[in-house]
Amino acid sequence: MIEEKENIVCPFCGCLCDDGVVKVEDNKIVGTRNLCRIGHKKFESAQHGRAESPRIRKNGELVPVTLEEAFDKAAEILVNAERPLFYGWSATCAEATQVGCELTEACRGIIDCTATICHAPSIEAIQDQGAPLSTLGEVMNRADLILYWGCNPMHAHPRHMSRYSVYPRGFFRKRGRKSRTIMVFDPRRTDTAKLADLHVQISPASDHMLVHTFREILNSYDVTHETVAGIPADAIRETMEAMAQHQWCILFFGMGLTQQMGKDRNIDVAIQLMHELNKYIGIRTTLMPMRGHFNVAGANITICSETGYPFAVDFSRGYPRYLPGETSAMDVLYRGEVDAMLNIGANPGTSFSNRALSHMAKIPLINIEPHNQQLLQISDVVFSPAMVGIECEGTAYRMDNVPIKLRKVVEPPENRLPDVVILTEILKRVKELKGKGA
């Protein structure tokens, strides 16, 4: 008999849609409702292609071993390392990240999350300029001007527009889409741009100039160039005038802004623009990064609450140090400093550069990942955990930094422990070995 489990939170993207219905028959997921294509695929494929657990590399081959043996081996690798790297944390729960911070401190290693290659510039800019943030609920109820800059939610966060920002009828925006204006700033004609009232098709890598030009107009300076970022100056003035007709504005931005030339400086000026729109015109303005993994915001928040810094935290001196560009995952891998690595809730096999991966292939690698992925080829210890939000509970943070409790939908397969339990067992052994003076 098919059982419909309601109000299931989708553990895929930063939207964390909490109205999903998952159909379960004999502990098998057979269908979903209200979830987008990506969310459906996450649930549908959760029980297929699972990595055998646990395994250790012996004579070049990954061979199945007992959990105890795998815990011992992982602890031995971490204790013998001088500068271990603990990377990932975006597709696991906040509780696991807490244990991960303790493990990093015990091993005097470096902890970094996937934000290091996506929204780290946003976090640095927020540290520079402050963060005029809001929740997605406020956006739904108040926003009448929605700017999407360098992001394409129709592909990356498919339900973002229908669930939170554009289409819902809010308390002050009773007509939903008709009460709001959508502007998209993107060099490409994306599917999001097709739905916008205004698509500003800027030249690639010229976001910084365009934001500065908006600021020039706001601050009553003349725009001296005829075109900026491929847009005629008059069109930029008209866009600014159109923006000024609204009451409550939100800027959603993605990789197009954070990983372009300028990086955190792009977000710096975007925050200043939001501030000046508020100051000179009186539009209530906020901005929000479009976080990718379902708990990448939670990884930053948890690491920050545990160590004082949001990512790239180095414990090599026994106390936390934060030096992005120096202690971030890519940099320590490029310099070849890392002599052991633990990967959890991320897939560096597809997102890291060849140079970083070639160093990872040389060092002992502990991989905590439910499915068979590229990184298994160079892993030395492999754990296949229970999937957070599908096979075990946990806490995740939505892109607006709201914590949401993930629910258990089905029972995990045999020998699959939650990430928290795996990390706690490794931590226990590391402490024992450190106590013996290993």
Partner 1 sequence: MDNKLYNLVTKEEKCYGCGNCVVACPVNAYNDPAVAGGKGPEQLDKVIMCVENGVIKILNMGLCKGCGTCIEECPDGAIGLEVNYTT
Q: Which is nearer to partner 1, 25 or 191 (CB)?
A: 191
Q: Which two tokens stand for residue 343?
A: 């990967």
Stretch of 161-169, 236-244, 351-359, 388-396 contacting partner 1, by CB under 8 A:
161-169
Q: Which is nearer to partner 1, 32 or 373 (CB)?
A: 32
Q: Which is nearer to partner 1, 177 or 212 (CB)?
A: 177
Stretch of 116-124, 153-161, 301-309, 359-367 contacting partner 1, by CB under 8 A:
153-161
Q: Which is nearer to partner 1, 176 or 403 (CB)?
A: 176
* Residue of 366, 365, 407 lying closest to 386 (CA atoms): 407
| Number of residues located near partner 1, criterion CB under 8 A | 34
Stretch of 120-128, 163-171, 286-294, 356-364 contacting partner 1, by CB under 8 A:
163-171
Of residues 105-144, which lie at the interface with partner 1 (CB under 8 A)? 140
Of residues 22-81, which lie at the interface with partner 1 (CB under 8 A)? 31-41, 44
Rounded CA separation 90/163 (Å): 22
* In the complex, minimum distance from the CB of residue 356 to partner 1, in angstroms, rounded to a whole number: 32
* In the complex, minimum distance from the CB of residue 349 to partner 1, in angstroms, rounded to a whole number: 25
Is 348 among the residues that bind partner 1 (CB under 8 A)? Answer: no
Of residues 165-194, which lie at the interface with partner 1 (CB under 8 A)? 166-169, 176-177, 191-192, 194
Candidate residues 13, 46, 74, 154; the one interacting with partner 1 per rule CB under 8 A: 154
**Number of Cβ within a 10 Å radius of residue 100:** 31
Please provide residue 101's backbone torsions phi and psi, each rounded to the nearest 5 degrees: -65, -40
Three-class DSSP category at 281: helix
Q: Which residues pair with 84 in a beta bridge?
A: 340
Among all chains, which residue has been given the structure tokens 């997921």? 29
* In the complex, minimum distance from the CB of residue 161 to partner 1, in angstroms, rounded to a whole number: 6
* Residue pair 69/381 in contact by the 8 Å Cβ criterion: no
Candidate residues 98, 127, 162, 278; the one interacting with partner 1 per rule CB under 8 A: 162
Please provide residue 121's backbone torsions phi and psi, each rounded to the nearest 5 degrees: -60, -35
Rounded CA separation 374/315 (Å): 29
* Residue pair 16/9 in contact by the 8 Å Cβ criterion: yes
Stretch of 18-26, 220-228, 234-242, 360-368 contacting partner 1, by CB under 8 A:
18-26
Is 155 among the residues that bind partner 1 (CB under 8 A)? Answer: yes
Establish how many alpha carbons lie within 13 A of residue 1's alpha carbon, considering only the half-sphere containing its beta carbon: 2
* In the complex, minimum distance from the CB of residue 194 to partner 1, in angstroms, rounded to a whole number: 4
Of residues 302-341, which lie at the interface with partner 1 (CB under 8 A)? none
Is 228 among the residues that bind partner 1 (CB under 8 A)? Answer: no
- Which H/E stretch holds residue 25? strand 20-25
* Residue pair 196/166 in contact by the 8 Å Cβ criterion: no
* In the complex, minimum distance from the CB of residue 165 to partner 1, in angstroms, rounded to a whole number: 9
* In the complex, minimum distance from the CB of residue 33 to partner 1, in angstroms, rounded to a whole number: 5
DSSP 119-169: THHHHHHHHHH------HHHHHHH-SEEEEES--HHHHSTTIIIIIISSS-
Rounded CA separation 394/423 (Å): 14
Rounded CA separation 95/425 (Å): 14
Stretch of 150-158, 261-269, 272-280, 419-427 contacting partner 1, by CB under 8 A:
150-158
Q: Which is nearer to partner 1, 4 or 241 (CB)?
A: 4
Rounded CA separation 341/350 (Å): 16
* In the complex, minimum distance from the CB of residue 145 to partner 1, in angstroms, rounded to a whole number: 18
Residue 282, burial from CB neighbour count under 10 angstroms (0-12, 13-18, 19+): exposed
Of residues 191-210, which lie at the interface with partner 1 (CB under 8 A)? 191-192, 194-195
| Residues at the site binding partner 1, with contacts judged by CB under 8 A | 19-21, 31-41, 44, 140, 154-155, 158-159, 161-164, 166-169, 176-177, 191-192, 194-195
